[in-house]
């Protein structure tokens, strides 16, 4: 679901971007309680802007498939195990 929303958001669909932001809203809300009340609105706006920037820069083609991920994980474990 997130992948399809990112694809739509990259195609300038504002509803898709709102959907992505709403997916992260519970974590954002919880994290904002660690700040003062005066800073929460500004921080929320900053994080939402950063989410939008990351979505537009994210390369969907660079995401490895399952088998590529396994191969990379095996290589990383082999390097760390030495």
pLDDT on residue 76 = 67
Q: Which two tokens stand for residue 37?
A: 């009340």
Tokens of 42: 């500004």
* Average pLDDT of the chain, as a whole number: 89
Grouping H, G, I as helix, E, B as strand and the rest as coil, residue 35 is coil
Say what the pTM is.
Answer: 0.72
The whole-number pLDDT of residue 79 equals 56
Rounded Cα gap, residues 16 and 6, in angstroms: 7
CA–CA distance, 20 with 22 (Å, rounded to integer): 5
State the Cα–Cα distance between residues 40 and 46, nearest whole angstrom: 10
pLDDT number for residue 65: 80
Given a cut of 70, whether residue 82 has pLDDT beyond it is no
pLDDT tens-digit profile of 37-68? 999 999 999 999 999 999 999 988 887 788 88
């Amino acid at each position: 679901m997130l992948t399809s929303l990112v694809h739509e958001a990259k195609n300038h669909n504002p509803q898709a971007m709102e959907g992505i932001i709403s997916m992260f809203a519970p974590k954002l809300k919880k994290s904002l309680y660690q700040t003062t009340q005066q800073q929460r609105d500004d921080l929320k706006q900053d994080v939402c802007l950063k989410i939008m920037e990351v979505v537009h820069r994210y390369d969907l083609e660079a995401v490895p498939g399952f088998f590529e991920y396994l191969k990379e994980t095996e290589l990383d474990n082999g390097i760390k195990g030495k």
